Structure 1
Amino acid sequence: MTSRTAREDDEARERAAIAERAAAAGAAVADAAFRTGIDTETKDGKTDVVTQADRDAQAEVVRVIRDAFPDEAVVGEEGDELESVPEAGPAWVVDPIDGTNNFVRDIRIWTTSVAAVVDGVPVAAATVLPALGDTYTAGPEGVWRNGEAAAVSRRTDPETFAVCPTIWWDYDRREEYAVATREIVERFGDLRRLGSAQAALAMVAAGHLEAAVTNVVPNPWDTVAGVRMVRQAGGTVTDVDGDPWHHDSRGLVASNGKAHDEVLAAVREIEAARRGE
Structure 2
Amino acid sequence: MRRTADRVATAERAARAGASVANEFFRTGIDVETKAGKTDVVTQADRDAQDRVIDVIREMFPGEPVVGEEGDELKSVPESGPAWIVDPIDGTANYVRGIQTWGTSVATVLDGETIAAANVFPALDDVYVADERETRLNDDPVRVSTRRDPETFTVVPTTWWPRDRRAEYGAAFRGIVETFGDARRYGCSQASLSMVASGQVEGVISNQRTNPWDTVAGVHMIRLAGGRVTNLEGERWRPTDSGLVASNDRAHETVLAAAREVAQRSTGD
Task: Name the TM-score class by shorter chain.
Answer: over 0.9
1:151-187 CA distances to partner (integer Å, 9 max, x unpaired)? 1000000000010100011101111101100000000
Alignment partner of 1:46 is 2:38? yes
Letter in 1 for 2:219: V
Aligned to 1:4: none
Gaps of 5+ in 2: none
1:201-216 matched pairs, under 5 angstroms:
201-216=193-208
In the TM superposition, what is the alpha-carbon distance from 1:80 to its structure 2 partner? 1.4
Moved over 6 A (4+): none
In the TM superposition, what is the alpha-carbon distance from 1:97 to its structure 2 partner? 0.2
Aligned to 2:158: 166
Aligned to 1:227: 219
Aligned to 1:270: 262
SS of the equivalent of 1:229 reads helix
SS of the equivalent of 2:3 reads helix
Letter in 2 for 1:145: L
Letter in 2 for 1:137: V
Aligned to 1:140: 132
CA distance, structure 2, for counterparts of residue 15 and residue 254 of structure 1: 25
SS of the equivalent of 1:215 reads strand
Letter in 2 for 1:171: R
Aligned to 2:188: 196
Q: Is the 8 A contact 1:13 1:140 kept in 2?
A: no
CA distance, structure 1, for counterparts of residue 97 and residue 62 of structure 2: 35
1:188-240 CA distances to partner (integer Å, 9 max, x unpaired)? 00001000000000010000010111001001000000010000111000001
CA distance, structure 1, for counterparts of residue 256 and residue 3 of structure 2: 34
Q: Is the 8 A contact 1:184 1:191 kept in 2?
A: yes
In the TM superposition, what is the alpha-carbon distance from 1:71 to its structure 2 partner? 1.4
1:218-275 CA distances to partner (integer Å, 9 max, x unpaired)? 0100000001000011100000110100011101101100000000000110010111
1:58 to 47, 50, 75: 50
Alignment partner of 1:93 is 2:88? no
In the TM superposition, what is the alpha-carbon distance from 1:12 to its structure 2 partner? 2.4
Percent identical among aligned pairs is 59
Give the length in aligned residue pairs: 269
Letter in 1 for 2:74: L
Letter in 1 for 2:106: V
Alignment partner of 1:113 is 2:105? yes
1:23 to 15, 29, 38: 15
1:176 to 168, 171, 175: 168
Cα RMSD for the two superposed structures: 0.9
In the TM superposition, what is the alpha-carbon distance from 1:109 to its structure 2 partner? 0.1
CA distance, structure 2, for counterparts of residue 50 and residue 198 of structure 1: 17
Letter in 2 for 1:231: R
SS of the equivalent of 1:112 reads strand
CA distance, structure 2, for counterparts of residue 72 and residue 271 of structure 1: 36
1:249-268 matched pairs, under 5 angstroms:
249-268=241-260
In the TM superposition, what is the alpha-carbon distance from 1:15 to its structure 2 partner? 1.0
CA distance, structure 2, for counterparts of residue 86 and residue 139 of structure 1: 20
Gaps of 5+ in 1: 1-7
Letter in 1 for 2:82: P
Q: Is the 8 A contact 1:180 1:267 kept in 2?
A: yes
In the TM superposition, what is the alpha-carbon distance from 1:116 to its structure 2 partner? 0.4
1:66-119 CA distances to partner (integer Å, 9 max, x unpaired)? 000001100000011111110000000000000000000000000100000001
CA distance, structure 2, for counterparts of residue 136 and residue 254 of structure 1: 17
SS of the equivalent of 2:257 reads helix
Aligned to 2:143: 151
1:74 to 66, 72, 76: 66
The alignment's TM-score, normalised by the length of structure 2, stands at 0.99
In the TM superposition, what is the alpha-carbon distance from 1:11 to its structure 2 partner? 2.4
